[in-house]
Amino acid sequence: MTTTILAATPTLAGEAISALWIAIPIAVLFGVAEYLHHVRHVEVEYTRKLTHLGSGLIVLAMPWALGTHWTVLALCSGFAIVLVASRPLGLLPSIHAIGRRTQGAQFYPVAVYGTFILADGDPFLFVAPMLVMALSDTGAAVVGKRYGILRYRVVEDYRSLGGSLTFFVLTFTVVLVGLGLHGHPHLPSVLVIALITGLVSTAVEGISVEGADNILVPYATWVVLHATIAVDRDGLGVW
């Protein structure tokens, strides 16, 4: 019994240190966003997207840094508590002080943990959906705000043609490069998978309201990749 505990201690200690290497950069990122908002008077839309993109890039290390989903659950639960509790208390205005109804910040940790579970140890099936959520969504928001071209209404939210096109291009690129690095052997299939993923994820993002895209987009991306990555060209034709 004692031997087992002693043997597990280094592993637990290493896991805790790895978790800190993820938690501390995210906490620092929140601090930078608060500084930019309070001192530099940067708009909340931009500080919010900074934390959205930065956190998404930081959590990409999880499949390699963390050995168990329990650590991911602990990290995501901790940040979920911070994000949920800070809103009614008026804290973290660089994230919450936005002029529209959204639960996107609170959904974010749920998306990270859920995608980690769904990926089931496959780094690509975790990294690709996280990159789509972080990179494509941020790019679409920034481009849509400046070069929306054509705006359309979805319930109480608005989307734009420029933003949706940006989301599609970034998602297509993420999946295309990711499949190449993942070692997918067939170029025609890679192009079709990237096209399907881009179309489905863009459609899902386009109809998501009140921040639901932070959950629906990574899950939709995972569903498409999980269903198509091992399918032959005839199967992709059905898609």
The pLDDT of residue 6 is: 38
Instruction: Label residue 61 by pLDDT band (50, 70, 90).
Output: very high
Give percent above pLDDT 90 in the chain: 63
C-alpha 45/C-alpha 37 separation (Å) is 10
The pLDDT of residue 4 is: 40
What is the crossing angle of helices 2-38 and 69-86, to 10°?
Answer: 30
The pLDDT of residue 86 is: 92
Residue 234: pLDDT over 60 = yes
> Where is average pLDDT lowest: 15-19, 59-63, 132-136, 209-213?
209-213
Q: Do residues 35 and 109 touch, judged by C-beta distance below 8 A?
A: no
- DSSP assignment of 192-207 equals HHHHHHHHHHHHHHHH
Instruction: Label residue 231 by pLDDT band (50, 70, 90).
Output: confident
* Of the candidates 31, 104, 115, the residue with the CA atom closest to the CA atom of residue 73: 115
The pLDDT of residue 148 is: 65
At residue 154, what are phi and psi to the nearest 5 degrees? -125, 100
Enter the pTM of the model. 0.90
Q: Do residues 51 and 95 touch, judged by C-beta distance below 8 A?
A: yes
Instruction: Label residue 188 by pLDDT band (50, 70, 90).
Output: confident
Residue 172: pLDDT over 50 = yes
Quote the mean pLDDT of the chain: 88
| DSSP assigned state of 99 | S
